[in-house]
Chains A and B, each alone.
Chain A
Amino acid sequence: MEVKSYIPIDLEDCLGELGNENYWLFAGGTDLMIRKRQWHGASRKFVRPVMFINDLKELNGIESDDDYIYIKACNSLAEVYENDEAPEILKKAIVSMANPEIRNMATIGGNVANAAKVGDTLPVLFLLDARVELRSKNEKRIRKISDFIKGKYQTDLRKGELLYQIIIPKKEYDINMFYKVGSRQGDTLSKLSVSCTMNIENNFVNDFRVAFGAINNKSIRDRYIEEKLINKSVSEAEGLIYTVLNGYQDLLYGDNDKRSTKRYREETAIKILHKFLKEALNEK
């Protein structure tokens, strides 16, 4: 059976049609083409109709104002990487992903909407306090990314809705790190990743953020633990390193799976954060 395809001419056409059937949205296709591997020749495995959104003008391009950067869902990872205003830490995550050809096709919206446990932009977007704008024919909603992502392959996307753009508050992060543990260049799905930023001014920590990816089903970010270091002097913060590490230890629920073991993930994640904290606090 060949599946129905819909190629909308613009966003209005797309949203108008989206509510009519249970469409599978198709952006860059780098997740879908693998999940539907049997696509060779025929398209039997695609049981739901498909709507192609990758080339919609309204879903491409990156804009900004004084406070935010707005990344439309169908920008490829390469396009986000090349944008001057995209946050440094997001770029670090992007170059760690896949290979140049895949980064040319894979969209940032697909990485978010797919909500894979190993999705590498997710922890960074959690760290950056990103929001997502969702659009349907008659409605526009904005949700925090941490509310939008509900778990492994689970989001708050409703029927008839698509991810329109990702909205990131503009902010300078003096020290930023994205550290990913994978196995092979070119196909590096995360075993785990640690994203950290810190701002220190006049010997006081005025911002500190951490997000862990690919350990729990959903990226981990905890403002309560971060605040233990905020507004502390560098030497006070140094004395609190173990309090922070213990706090995160309790939040990690890694699994054993084909990429790694629970113990390896948890221990490695905490070691990476420890190293970051020692270096960040000693540097100043």
Chain B
Amino acid sequence: MQIEIKFNLNGEDVSIMTDPVRRLLDVLREDFKLTGVKEGCSEGECGACVVFVNDILVNSCMVPMANVINKKVMSIEGFKQTKEFEVIEKGFLEAGAVQCGFCTPGMIMATENLLRNISNPSVEEIKEGLSGNICRCTGYQTIIEAVQLTVKDGGELWKSNLTSL
């Protein structure tokens, strides 16, 4: 069944004809060519596909289009335009937390989500905050360091609890 579904994607109002049971992940990758959103496990465990829907971090492989009607979706491509992204990216590069890079968009989005909630997280809080993201090459220690570096260099950004988009 095809219906018209309207939503806001990375700041722009969009509308598509599609099946409401189709996964947001497929719409983003196939219809909008937003390939920074990755498909890893397809079952909510790896976090490669995460996006913000109305500022709430979710796995786009689990979200049917019916659940984004009239909502605001932000993928890594949209988040890239923010100051927060720059700071997190720098943290990840400096810590050497990227090898193949497949998990990185998800790790960056989860880091943003974590820092929105806790601007100066402990190691335990970082582990919990990133517990929905799996990396199979870098190792978690450097990723934790990347988050710590991010906080050290630009932690002020999250204290106001606002994103710049």
Contact = CB atoms under 8 A, between A and B. Distances in A.
Contacts of B22: 39, 43
Interface stretch (B54-62, B81-89, B93-101, B151-159): B54-62
A101 B43 contact: no
B21 A30 contact: no
B126 to A, nearest CB: 12
Interface of A: 2-5, 7, 26, 28-30, 33-34, 37, 39-41, 43, 46, 50, 52, 54-55, 78, 98-102, 104-105, 185-187
Contacts, number: 97
Contacts of A54: 67
A102 B134 contact: no
B57 A7 contact: no
Interface residues of B, number: 34
A101 B20 contact: no
A186 B19 CA distance: 30
Given A33-B43, A54-B67, 19 more contacts: A2-B19, A5-B21, A26-B66, A28-B62, A34-B43, A39-B23, A41-B26, A43-B21, A43-B22, A46-B21, A55-B67, A55-B69, A98-B132, A99-B131, A101-B58, A101-B110, A104-B57, A105-B62, A186-B45
Interface of B: 1-3, 19-23, 26, 42-45, 47, 50, 56-59, 61-64, 66-67, 69, 110, 113, 127-129, 131-132, 134
- Describe A's contact surface by its main secondary structure: loop
Contacts of A4: 1
Contact of B44 (A43, A46, A52, A101): A101
A102 B127 CA distance: 16
> Which residue, of A29, A30, A34, A50, has the highest number of chain B Cβ atoms within 10 A?
A29
A98 B61 CA distance: 15
B20 A100 contact: no
Contact of A52 (B47, B62, B67, B128): B67
B13 to A, nearest CB: 18
Contacts of A100: 57, 110, 113, 128-129, 131-132
Contacts of A101: 44, 47, 50, 57-59, 110, 132
